[in-house]
Every structure is written in structure tokens, then in C-alpha cells.
Amino acid sequence: MLEPNAESRYEITRADLPLSCPMPDMAVWNSHPKVYLPVEETGEARCPYCGAEFRLTDR
């Protein structure tokens, strides 16, 4: 399991969609509530809770 909110930038691929923060492979016991982020249209999204930035690399 990855530590949630450990990084401020994440690169993701279409295999990671739909995108949520925290992501499914992150431990959620010490994180904020799950929120789904619309990254498909612009290729970038920011989590309103922790501020993590996500970038879609295979647009």
C-alpha cells in the first residue's frame, strides 16, 4: 500500500481511471474522504482536500 498524501504530484495513465484521491492502492485509514477527480478532459486535476496534483500521461 502507498502512503496517502505523501506526494504533491502524481502521474497517472488511463488504466488508473476513474481517478480518485486517495487512489485505490493507497491506505485510507489516515487520509481524507475519497473524492473523484475529472482528469480526462484537460489532462490535469487537483484534489480539493490535500492539493495533490494529478497529470494524465497517455492522453
Is residue 1, in this structure, part of any structural domain at all?
no
Range of the domain at 35: 9-56
Is residue 17, in this structure, part of any structural domain at all?
yes
What's the number of domains the chain is made of? 1
pLDDT at site 31: 84
Which pLDDT band, with edges at 50, 70 and 90, does 2 fall under?
low
> Is the predicted pLDDT of residue 48 greater than 80, yes or no?
yes
> Cell 473524492, residue?
35
> Is the predicted pLDDT of residue 40 greater than 80, yes or no?
yes
Which pLDDT band, with edges at 50, 70 and 90, does 27 fall under?
confident
Buried b (16+ CB within 10 A) or exposed e, 7-43: eeebebeeebeebebbbeebeeeeeeeeeebebeeee
Beta-ladder partners of 59: none
pLDDT at site 17: 96
Is residue 3, in this structure, part of any structural domain at all?
no
Q: Are strands 20-21 and 35-36 parallel, antiparallel or unpaired?
A: antiparallel
**Omega of the bond leading into 24 within 30 degrees of 0 (cis):** no
Is residue 29, in this structure, part of any structural domain at all?
yes
